[in-house]
Amino acid sequence: MFSRTLLASLVGTTAIMAQAAPMDKSDALANTPYFNQTDSGFDLTFSPKHYRTLETQVNGKTVKFRAFEKIVYVQHPVEVDYQTLNIYVPEAYFENGSINGFNANTAPIFLPNSVGGYMPAKAATYDKKGFGSSDKPNAIVTALSKGYVVASVGARGRTLEKDGKYTGKAPAVIIDLKSAVRYLHANDAVMPGDANKIISNGTSAGGALSALLGASGDHADYEAYFASLGAAKASDSIFAVSAYCPITNLEHADMAYEWEFNGINDYRRMDMSRLNANSYNDRSQAPAMIEGTLNAEEIAISNELKAAFPAYLNSLNLKDAKGQALTLDKEGNGSFKEYVKQVMVRAADKYHKQGNDLSGIKWLTLGKGGVSDMDWNSYLHAEKRMKSPPAFDALNLSSGENNLFGTETINNRYFTAFSLAKSQEKGDKAKLMAEPEVIKLMNAMNYIETSPTQHWRVRAGTRDRDTSHAISAILAIKLSMAGKNVDYETPWGVPHSGDYDLEELFNWTDSISR
Ligand code: DHB
């Protein structure tokens, strides 16, 4: 919490205005110095002195704020350009003001991560394009307009390399996000905003990490990784999680994918080989796509993975809100499938009640009362699958997730026994398997029971085919069963994306913060 004395001492501080830096599209802050650099590493005490004062329009309203940018959040960064926070604070909080019922002491801290594709991610700036690269205000300025302090965070990712070593393989990205949270807790007394109200937000890989950050708060499993980075000695627990289409539970995601998409043999997927950090983080560039049809071998793998999913699902002992068991039979049918379908039916009904026309979709049961059912198979066959099996742990080690689980010296590894067993790679195959401890550290599912985070919002659009809808459903159900406050929906017609419903998002963050 921000002390009033400190606030008083700040009034009259001179703003350091932005230098006229040449605009590099991919890195708006390229020429901004790291103000917290010292001779012996980076100083982890928040400095209220180094900021620029900025103004922007958000939905017709002028929002004035201070930008404290490129704060390196560990003393000894490995990749200084990525291990940074951009902190944005409503100007009103330096003038004893309040916004939306919050003040400098009570304002929650909105923590959007920029991670996509498990790639390296620079902390997003306040002027990044909004959802779908539209002119809509982005999540950062929307949060500011609603009185949130924003801590936009970057992190290392799977493709980074320095001095002949990979520097961003798992678990680097979650260690970085936790280190940033530790910085916020350590500086709670001197920074505006309430570090006991940190609300994490992310999409896709970033959604998975948002969930992991909440699930694994203060868990001892991660402890060994902080000392060498010089992370602040403080809590890394957060208050709430917003996760859009989380690409999580990777070691079970191949099975889940085939449970959902088996029988759909045409695919349209992203060309990972042509992906770079900029095209991932700047979502205005559509990634290159590859189209094709599964061959007989791939179809056989799909069948095998699909058949393995019910045993995993049933081992979770899932129950719905009424305590009814959610299970699957050998064919993959049963109450769990019905549950996922009904979540989508409710999404269609909500969309319809918002005044949208669904009469063209013949596989929806649409009556006077709204949408009451849908034909699961027709829904699935309405579009191509996105990934070929195994969707994540590729047999030829070509997926982004294989790349995530590499080491300092091995670029790509397996993370499931299934794919390792089917590998045609030469040499000592055991070396190509990620350690179980590292795989565990990357999966929010492993930490739900001990999670300190009470509030969860999970979204995965009905048109999303980057991972199975089972993955986010399982996450949401497990969280509910652990007594968490969970808001889970599958917005109708929404593809793989995030931040598309900021009014709803911030209504939810308001509701849990007061
Ligand atoms: C993302 C998408 C994927 O399909 C995937 O496998 C991993 C990450 C993403 O958009 O972040």
Closest CA to 252 of 475, 463, 487: 475
Does a structural domain hold residue 50?
Answer: yes
- Domain assignment present for residue 76? The answer is yes
Helix (H, G, I), strand (E, B) or coil at 250: helix
Atom of ligand 1 nearest to the CA of 386: 4
Q: Is the Cα dihedral 278, 174, 236, 226 positive or negative?
A: negative
- The DSSP letter of residue 18 is P
The H or E element spanning position 205 is helix 205-215
Name the DSSP class of 350: H
Distance 205 CA to ligand 1 centre (A): 6
Is residue 439 helix, strand or coil? helix
The predicted structure's pLDDT at residue 134: 83
Whole-number percent of the chain with pLDDT over 70: 92
Has residue 15 got a pLDDT over 70?
no
Residue 105 pLDDT greater than 70, yes or no: yes
Instruction: Give the structural domain span for 214.
Output: 37-248+501-513
Cα 7 to averaged position of ligand 1 atoms, centre (Å): 42
pLDDT value, residue 272: 65
The three-state DSSP-derived secondary structure of 360-428 is CCCCEEEECCEEEEECHHHHHHCCCECCCCCCCCCCCCCCHHHHHCCCCCCCCCECCHHHHHCCCCCCC
pLDDT above 90 (res 39):
yes
Say yes or no to pLDDT of 22 above 80. no
For residue 221, report the distance from its CA to the centre of ligand 1, in Å: 25
Q: Tell me what the mean pLDDT of segment 439-447 comes to.
A: 99
Q: Are 225 and 478 contacting, i.e. CB atoms less than 8 angstroms apart?
A: no
Residue 162 lies in a domain: yes
Residue whose token pair is 């590499």: 406
Domain annotation covers residue 327? no
Note the pLDDT tens digit of each residue in 397-419: 999 999 999 999 999 999 999 99
> Which pLDDT score, from 0 to 100, does residue 6 have?
42
pLDDT of residue 271: 75
Give the ligand 1 atom nearest the CA of 207: 11
Confidence check: pLDDT of 19 > 70 = no
| Least confident stretch, 3-7, 244-248, 317-321, 370-374 | 3-7
pLDDT at 276: 56
Domain assignment of residue 130, yes or no: yes
Question: Could you tell me the pLDDT band of residue 456, with boundaries at 50, 70 and 90?
Answer: very high
Residue 420 is assigned to a structural domain of this protein: no
Q: Please indicate whether residue 135 or residue 387 has the higher confidence score (pLDDT).
A: 387
Q: What is the pLDDT of residue 403?
A: 98
How many domains, the chain? 1
Q: What is the pLDDT of residue 196?
A: 98
User: Ligand 1 center to residue 253 CA distance, Å?
Assistant: 12
Residues sharing a CB contact under 8 Å with residue 304, sequence separation 6 or more, in sequence order: 418
* Ligand 1 atom having least distance to the Cα of 391: 6
- pLDDT digits 0-9 by tens, 266-282: 999 877 655 555 445 55
Q: 466 C-alpha vs ligand 1 centroid, how far in Å?
A: 6
Ligand 1 binding pocket (C-beta < 6 A) is: 116-118, 204-205, 247, 400, 466
- The per-residue pLDDT for range 328-358, each reduced to its tens digit, is 999 999 999 999 999 999 999 999 999 999 9
Whole-number average pLDDT of the chain: 93
Q: Is residue 270 part of a domain?
A: no
Q: Which region among 129-133, 150-154, 510-514 has the lowest average model confidence (pLDDT)? A: 129-133
Residues with Cβ within 8 Å of 514's Cβ and at least 6 positions away in sequence, in order, are: 101
115 CA closest ligand 1 atom index? 11
Count of beta carbons in the 10 Å neighbourhood of residue 507: 11
pLDDT at position 2: 54
> Is residue 91's pLDDT more than 70?
yes
The crossing angle, in degrees rounded to 10, of helices 250-261 and 296-315 is 110
Which of 118, 158, 204 to probe ligand 1 with, by most ligand atoms within 8 A of CB? 204
Can you give the CATH number for the domain in which 129 is found? 3.40.50.1820
- Asked if the structure places residue 330 within a domain, the reply is no
CA of 87 to the centre of ligand 1 (A): 26
Cβ-proximal residues to 384 (8 Å cutoff; 6+ apart), any chain: 264, 266, 267, 268, 291, 465
Exposure of 362 in the CB half-sphere (CA atoms within 13 A): 3
Residue type (1 letter), 248? T
